[in-house]
Amino acid sequence: MKKRVALVLGSGGARGYAHIGVIEEIERRGYDIACVAGCSMGAVVGGIYAAGKLDEYRNWIESLDYLDVLRLVDVSFRLGAIRGEKVFGQIRKIVGELNIEELRIPYTAVATDLTNQQEIWFQEGCLHQAMRASAAIPSLFTPVMQGNRMLVDGGLLNPLPIVPVVSSHCDLIIAVNLNATNQKHYQLPVIQRPPAFKSRFNSLAKSLGSHLPFRRKQAEQLMKLEQEALQAEAADINPWLDAAEPESQQPAAAPEKAGAPKSATGSFIIDNVGPASLLDLINQSFEVMQTSLAQYKIAGYPPDVLINVPKRVCRFFEFYKAPELIALGREIARDTLDRYESEQG
């Protein structure tokens, strides 16, 4: 008889694509995912899975290159750099109009109500609105207004929502933490991709950072950047690759110097490392908070299996790395479940 799994999918921006690889590995081993709770990208992937549309979603995101991601950026002039209508409009096309009650398994999406300063669980009502509210990353996506409530990313209060599945009476709880800090041996797999427009994507990310606070002039510059990229594509121009390399390819840190500052844990602090923009600063701060909160949630309700995805593998906005992140999620899930099953005898 298949073991029934209560699956918890945490928040972590683009790293949320790793959830897809985790789900694939869980199903490959014959487990039955009986319910799912998610936050931010975890709520998006979990909702799409519960709707039975994960294959279609994966096919779409794996087809996106740097320019495709750039095209999905719809600049906002208020309360967030991106409206998100293009991205979530495509998700709506894939999933369709569904209420949570119609899903094939129980589902919970966690959001944060800024108006009343409390955690919100979506367990009924419009699936699309639940996913959109849970994934409204502050400073990046505009909030969702529901009556007099302003809803944003659930990661502000609960980046790893284990509690909603505790009463599910499943055989085991598997939680996927996207903000792990101690998995140094894992790197993104190398997947060959066309290099064109990667530097323009990185330029876009920096421009989004300067878009806070929002000014029309900056928005016009951002739209000009997109137009230039489209023109370059038409002319088959490859102006690349001078942008920063992925973290896994960056040179090692300089040797320790006498008197260099140390963190509370004793590790040396590299003084030339820091956020490149205001957007980067806000989201690095957000991720530090989520890392700490996730540790509290795990300590309070330890899952039977904890799958840790290291947060250093990619930046929160690198949504063009779906194939690599899915493969990484599958690899980490395989290793973690191997250890769990060997311990169970």
What residues act catalytically?
40, 153
Strands (E), 94-141: 107-113, 118-122
DSSP string, 210-272: HTSS--HHHHHHHHHHHHHHHHHHHTT------SPPPGGGSPPPPPP-TT--B-TTSPBPPTT
Neighbours of 129 (CB within 10 A): 18
Q: Which residues pair with 307 in a beta bridge?
A: 176
Residue 29 makes CB contacts below 8 A (sequence gap 6+) with 337, 341
Residue 130 makes CB contacts below 8 A (sequence gap 6+) with 43, 47, 100, 109, 111, 122
In the numeric block, the tokens 């949320």 are attached to 16
First to last CA, the chain: 17
- 293 half-sphere exposure, CB direction, 13 A CA radius: 20
